[in-house]
């Protein structure tokens, strides 16, 4: 993807955890959720990509607030301290991104955090060519807002360069 | 899709078009791409979700700059003026979101735009229950950065509420 693709495609569903291992932060106005409060207080969060076998746990985490329940305890997921930032990550999930908050943007009913990636952790079992995460081995899933449904990743359609060259050969293109 | 969803979790690949129908805007420093320049100048963009039959066109658009080629002409896609903002949308794509820029955030090598959704247009053919876009009828696809591959949406895993209740029944949950 090139620089002009500005609107970031967050392609795969991930669970964001702020510093749930620490005490929750409070914010005036009461708008902020526990997760957002933790992120604000610690300037840190982790993005945790579950594989499809954890779809129920992911759905559950998305429907409750950390104010009311201990999400790790109820789901039997294991919190581990991040190495580079003050937040927990989920041990059982195959891909974890540790992020430091570099910008906080108020959007009305949401607070958006922009993180700098400090570390990416992947289970060896999901690595493919050139030691990169292999999407089929990782087996992540997406959430469809329209029907509130979760879906796996489906058929491979091709890689970007050969597909692009179907439209215009390389000589003409550059 | 609701109006308050400002930062769209773009689970699905979409193509962003600034006002390519207008003259390109220039920005000092030369960092900005044509698309970003157009978005800055017109404070508007559209997010266009292709169905899988347009994967080659999408790949092509992602590999070239509007400075060098007319993306609409080469792909045989049809630009149409948005109704509510000053940007084009792609006639052939089944779902289009018209956005007005409400924030512009410099992130170093990228400029991030946050848009307010002014309108959502969907082809009748992709509508399902309650006149909402049906992801299977829409047949969008995702881009996997790891292998530079495109993939369709796969198997349905369930909807959020029944899945969440597998972890904890409703009475315990709230």
The pLDDT > 70 percentage for chain A reads 78
**Predicted pLDDT of residue B171:** 63
Q: Find out whether A48 and A77 touch, Cβ atoms under 8 Å.
A: no
- At A33, list the tokens: 């959720």
Inform me whether the pLDDT recorded for B96 exceeds 80: yes
Output A14 or A107, whichever has higher pLDDT: A107
Contacts of B75 in chain A (CB under 8 A): 167
- At A60, list the tokens: 């559950």
Average pLDDT over residues A85-112: 88
Contacts of A169 in chain B (CB under 8 A): none
Chain A residue with minimal CA distance to B53? Answer: A157
What ipTM was estimated for this complex? 0.81
CB distance B114–A107 less than 8 Å?
A: yes
Contacts of B56 in chain A (CB under 8 A): 158, 163-164, 166-167
CB distance A151–B149 less than 8 Å?
A: no
B5 falls in which pLDDT band (50, 70, 90)?
very low
Read off the pLDDT of residues B97-110 as tens digits, 9 standing for 90 and up.
Answer: 899 999 888 887 77
- At A78, list the tokens: 């294991």
Read off the pLDDT of residues A110-164 as tens digits, 9 standing for 90 and up.
Answer: 788 888 889 989 999 998 888 888 899 999 998 887 788 999 999 999 999 999 9
Q: How far is A86 from chain B (nearest CA, A)?
A: 22
Give me the residue spans of the domains in chain A: 15-173
Q: Which of A31, A160, A161 to mutate: most B Cβ within 10 Å?
A: A160
Q: How far is A160 from chain B (nearest CA, A)?
A: 5
Read off the pLDDT of residues A27-47 as tens digits, 9 standing for 90 and up.
Answer: 334 344 556 778 888 899 898
**Predicted pLDDT of residue B59:** 92
Query: SS3 string of A19-69?
Result: CCCCCCCCCCCCCCCHHHHHHHHHCEEEEEECCHHHHHHHHHHHHCCCCCC
Residues 6+ away with beta carbon under 8 Å from A34: A18, A20, A24, A65, A66, A67
| Fold adopted by B15-173 | Pnp Oxidase; Chain A (2.30.110)
Output A132 or A16, whichever has higher pLDDT: A132
CB distance A167–B134 less than 8 Å?
A: no
């Amino acid at each position: 993807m090139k620089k002009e693709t500005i609107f970031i495609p967050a392609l795969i569903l991930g669970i964001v955890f702020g510093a749930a291992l620490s005490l929750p932060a409070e914010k005036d106005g009461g708008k902020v959720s526990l997760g957002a409060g933790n992120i604000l207080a610690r300037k840190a969060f982790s993005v945790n990509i579950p594989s499809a076998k954890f779809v129920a746990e992911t759905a559950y985490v998305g429907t409750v607030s950390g104010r009311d329940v201990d999400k790790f305890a109820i789901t039997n997921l294991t919190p581990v301290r991040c190495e580079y930032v003050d937040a927990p990550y989920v041990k059982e999930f195959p891909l974890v991104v540790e992020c430091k908050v570099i910008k906080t943007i108020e959007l009305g009913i949401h607070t958006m955090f922009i993180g700098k990636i400090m570390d990416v952790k992947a289970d060896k079992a999901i690595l493919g060519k050139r030691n990169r995460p292999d999407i089929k081995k990782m087996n992540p899933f997406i959430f469809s807002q329209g029907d509130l449904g979760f879906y796996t990743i489906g058929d491979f359609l091709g890689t970007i360069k050969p597909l692009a060259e179907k439209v215009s050969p390389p000589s003409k293109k550059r």
